[in-house]
Amino acid sequence: MAAISQKGADFLLRSRLADAERGDVEALFDLGVIYSTGRDGVGVDLIEARKWFNLGALSGDTRSQQCRAEISYEMTAREIAEAQRQARAWLGAGQAGQRDAA
């Protein structure tokens, strides 16, 4: 039964990642929550969480802005910088993919 639960959690994560790649702001927020809380079988990863909250905040999501600020208190300056770097890289990869599809 645990394997079924893990498969479901993996499917949910893949689904939210695919939605985020399509620009779904709700998915960006959800991914931030998943990584900041360790929900759905994912370990807590504040760098990854802040990356997703950064992306949500850039899209104007006020919940992402608030959560990003809250988890920042638990992070070092280096961790915050790494999250920002990863968010920029994700944006750059998405823009390259959109150019390739055109």
User: Rounded to an integer, what distance in angstroms lies between the CA atom of residue 37 and that of residue 25?
Assistant: 19
Every domain of the chain and the residues it spans: 2-101
Confidence label for 102 from pLDDT (cuts 50, 70 and 90)? very low
User: Rounded to an integer, what distance in angstroms lies between the CA atom of residue 15 and that of residue 37?
Assistant: 18
pLDDT at 10 over 50: yes
Note the pTM of the prediction, 2 decimals. Answer: 0.85
Question: What are the pLDDT digits (tens) for 23-73?
Answer: 999 999 999 999 999 987 789 999 999 999 999 999 999 999 999 999 999
Average pLDDT of the chain is 88
Question: What values do phi and psi take at 59, rounded to 5?
Answer: -85, 5
CA distances (Å), origin 12, targets 5, 20, 31, 41, 83: 11, 12, 10, 10, 22
- To which residue do tokens 């390739």 refer? 100
